[in-house]
Amino acid sequence: MLKKAVLAVVFSLTVSIAAFAQQREKFIPFINSQHAWVDSVFNALSSREKVAQLFMVRAHSDLGPKYIDSVAGVVQREQLGGIVLFQGGPVRHAQVINRYQRLSKVPLFVALDGEWGLGMRLPDSTVSFPYQMALGAIQNEALIYQMGREIARDFKRLGLNINFAPVVDINNNPRNPVINFRSFGEDKLNVTRKGLAYMRGMMDEGIMVSLKHFPGHGDTDVDSHHDLPRLNFTAGRLDSLEMYPFRELIKAGTSGVMIAHMNIPSLDNTPNLPSSLSKHIVTDILKKRLGFDGLIFTDAMDMQGVVKHFRNGEADVRAIIAGNDVLELSLNSARAIDLVLQAIKQQRLSQQDIDARVKKILAAKYWLGLDNRREVAYTSLYEDLNRPQLRLLNQRLADASVTLLKSDYTINSLDYSKRTAIIGIGDPELSEFQKQLGRRFDNHLYFMLSADASADDVAAVSSELKGYSQVIVALHDKRVRPRNTLNYNGTVRLFINELANMNSVFCVFANPYALAGLPGVEQAKSILVCYQNDKVMQRAAAKVVLRQLNPSGRLPVTVNSFFRYGDGK
């Protein structure tokens, strides 16, 4: 199946991926076959417990005992199908997972949004791999495949079995407030290649994945967490562009697809109807036209994009009528189960249809090996989730993503003995990047300017630069997530323009879209795009400046007329 899918997208992952792949039973045929364990569990469930398998509840381990106890009460009382973990710590997560599994009659799905690994929810205690925008720049998909395998190993070690990843939305709207750096980029073929490598790595290691957000959330300017986005594209455009990665990865055997909350009149003209509640989109298009026979997850059912126009549990019922298999984070799962049972009595839903979905869910749990219950061991958990090979792989990914725009002449002509100014903008403290360079440049001075530096501060640095023959500039975005504009004041932006007209090297530790908000930066002789502001990326950039690494990344998005998709050395 994988070979056919790769041929369909006219690409092949490297031989090294095939060498790593395990011989696992294919997920889609497996969950659509009969199994004695599935039948025995199914036959032991009441009507209410069967419906409960369709729901996953939110769980944290950082909100205190009362919150943890309340979720335990829901799990035990409602016997839901799964939990979705958010913030907390590894040991605390393991403790709540063990507790909730013990309370459940049927083994639980345990999911987490791990688009860049466990660090997406546990940033202080686990490894955060590069954001997908940085991965989109990498030219070696085997690295992304290996990342997928390592993330899956982390998931299994912590007792998790579903990763709500990868994002295969095509981000062709720089103003997108919700996808943006979470996407592999704007090119459907590149997104498909990267998504396939990531997906296959995780599934080969034995966890489930869920592609998101069908039919494609990349070209929106509204965040569906806060409102209902509206897509006014034609059905033809959506089919040929937004749905392309989903179609190809369905052919490759993906285990899951997550449905977005978006209003799409060309696919369903029902007023204010989110795609997640549309039977035409979920059943007719995804299931029938695209042939998907895995598990369909809704995006979170507590988002305003879905509950704004369908309140009091009606969204939950409509989501199941539409054809979704698993509902993530209902506002009230007990109410939702009651309403689904009522809908069956009213013949809005059929018991036969519910039963088929429940058996598919149970078969997925059987594929995951949940029939053999094991508690998560606490001993050496932190060490196992921070093993040295993860750090090494993380650095390799960062190294492979660094993208050189403009010429490398200035970098190659740097003289380690000349007076060199190493300037950090946006970070008032000495950065890892500056420290790395300072060890090699013999005659250097560090300068630091905050994002809101005063005119006097900027003038002082500008005056000092007259005595330096080499200038290296680092632009930092210190915010938690790399936004598409930098939060620099006007004075700092003018200074960047001044620096760009010198014989300078720029290193941008920020969202690549941010380049569009820095008029004049295109005049710089060399620009390294490093995608995000962390020590791993800063070390990668330092290697390039010190001529220890040949940059191989390619820009995964078009920024403006100066910096376009595919640019790079």
Q: What percentage of residues in the chain have a pLDDT greater than 70?
A: 96
Question: Given this model, what pLDDT does residue 226 score?
Answer: 87
Domains annotated for the chain, with CATH where assigned, are 2-388 (3.20.20.300), 402-545 (3.40.50.1700)
Helix axis angle, 141-158 to 388-401, nearest 10°: 150
Question: Given this model, what pLDDT does residue 25 score?
Answer: 83
Nearest 5°: phi and psi at 298? -80, 155
| Averaged pLDDT for residues 492-506 | 95
Helix axis angle, 333-345 to 351-367, nearest 10°: 130
Instruction: Determine whether 211 is exposed, middle or buried from the number of CB atoms within 10 Å of its CB (0-12, 13-18, 19+).
Output: buried
Are 176 and 220 in contact by the 8 Å Cβ rule? The answer is yes
Helix axis angle, 333-345 to 65-78, nearest 10°: 20
Q: What percentage of residues in the chain have a pLDDT greater than 90?
A: 91
Nearest 5°: phi and psi at 269? -90, 15
Interval 207-262: pLDDT, tens: 999 999 999 999 898 888 988 999 999 999 999 999 999 999 999 999 999 999 99
Q: DSSP letter string over 181-207?
A: GGSS-S-HHHHHHHHHHHHHHHHHTT-
**Which residues, in sequence order, are CB contacts of 330 under 8 Å at separation 6+?**
55, 57, 301, 302, 313, 316, 336
| Averaged pLDDT for residues 12-31 | 61
CA dist 200 and 189 (Å) reads 16
- The first and second tokens of residue 177, run together, are 């407030």
Task: Please name the amino acid found at residue 256.
Answer: G
- The first and second tokens of residue 37, run together, are 């364990």
Exposure of 112 in the CB half-sphere (CA atoms within 13 A): 29
> Average model confidence (pLDDT) for the chain?
94
- The first and second tokens of residue 467, run together, are 């005595």
Q: Is the pLDDT of residue 332 over 70?
A: yes
SS3 for 25-77 is CCHHHHHCCCCHHHHHHHHCCCHHHHHHCCEEEEECCCCCHHHHHHHHHHHHH
- Closest-CA residue to 393 (of 180, 148, 226): 148
Q: How confident is the model at residue 24 (pLDDT cuts 50, 70, 90)?
A: low
Interval 394-447: pLDDT, tens: 999 999 999 999 888 889 999 999 999 999 999 999 999 999 999 999 999 999
Q: Which residues of 305-341 are buried (b: 16+ CB within 10 A; e: fewer)?
A: bbbbbbeebebbbbbbbbbbbbbbbbbebbebbebbb
Give the 3-state secondary structure of residue 162. strand
**Greatest Cα pair distance in the chain:** 83
Instruction: Determine whether 463 is exposed, middle or buried from the number of CB atoms within 10 Å of its CB (0-12, 13-18, 19+).
Output: exposed
Element holding 509 (H helix, E strand) = strand 504-509
End-to-end Cα, the chain, rounded Å? 35
Are 470 and 546 in contact by the 8 Å Cβ rule? The answer is no
Interval 301-318: pLDDT, tens: 999 998 999 999 999 999
| Averaged pLDDT for residues 82-98 | 98
Q: Is the pLDDT of residue 2 over 80?
A: no
- The first and second tokens of residue 449, run together, are 């300017």
- Least trusted range by pLDDT, from 301-305, 360-364, 393-397, 545-549: 301-305
- Angle at the Cα of 120 (from 261 to 61), degrees rounded to 5? 95
Question: Pairing mode, if any, of strands 420-425 and 403-406?
Answer: unpaired
